[in-house]
Amino acid sequence: MADYTYRPERDATLGLIFRLNALWEKADRKALSGDIDGWELVLDRIFSNLLYRDEAILVENKKGEKEVNLNDDNLVSWKIIKRNIRLAKFKWKEALRKRDRKFITYKEEHYTVIVEYDIWLRKFMQSRNLYLKETEHNPSKALFGGAFR
């Protein structure tokens, strides 16, 4: 029988924060270089890392088949954002294919929805208390709430 009283010496949140910071650095590099598709993929990875809290449950669908339900309202928001991104990208590619001059407008729309995705993710991360304290002037106190010992 497993011992469920085990408590790790270190908080796993620290690893998550380092991983998220590395991903945000990659996202910013992709955005600044104009790699919009790469930027979106890194944002997807950040979102995946932020969904760790809620338990995934096994449910039976209407056809009697088993499905995994991630049971998270934020996943619904993410699906709406991803649909908006897909639509904007489709309009841009379609206008480009048809040599329609509106392709520039649609390219800008595609960029804008990715920016909105980025902002939404940052707010989501903040709601999970995974950002460093914003008001701390001493970096050694920001991450753990106190000076390093």
31 has a pLDDT exceeding 80: yes
Could you give the angle at the alpha carbon of 70 between the alpha carbons of 8 and 54, nearest 5°? 35
Task: Say what the pLDDT of residue 149 is.
Answer: 42
Per-state percent for the chain, helix, strand, coil, to nearest 5: 60, 5, 35
Output phi, psi for 72, to 5 deg: -145, 120
pLDDT given at position 93: 87
> Which residue has better confidence, 34 or 134?
34
Q: pLDDT tens-digit profile of 109-144?
A: 999 999 999 999 999 998 888 876 555 556 556 555
DSSP 71: -
Out of 26-40, 58-72, 87-101, 125-139, which region has the weakest mean confidence (pLDDT)?
125-139
Q: Spell out the domain ranges in the chain.
A: 13-142
